[in-house]
Amino acid sequence: MIALGLFTRVAAFICSGEMAAVYFMVDAPKSFWPALNQVDAAILFTFVFLYLAFAGPGAWSLDAIFRRSAAAAPQPDAELSEYSADDEITVFLVQRASRIPSLVGSNPRSTRTMRKRHPLRP
């Protein structure tokens, strides 16, 4: 996952913890200092993975590709983004009610008019 750049921060943090555990379980009982044990790889990988966890994926990673594709996706209507989830549910229900004229009757106000005159809007 780290080589592909998919969920790099989470995967690198987990790998860093695993390498630290390997060092403290296998190498540290001999001697705390890695130079005396002749095992620098566990400490090296611990800090390399920790760096990747904080630096994040690069520009060519799958995370970056997904982020670019999400940014290029069409954004919702600007008027709807000002409202909370309750307001969106209200607009959705009004739109649904306007599709069932036999139960509700005709809706003289359009949903756009309702959005402009919503009582919760400051």
Distance CA 5, CA 67 (A): 12
The DSSP letter of residue 81 is G
pLDDT score for 31: 82
pLDDT > 70 fraction of the chain, expressed in percent and rounded: 59
DSSP at 117: T
**Is the whole-model pTM more than 0.85?**
no
Res. 103: pLDDT tops 50? no
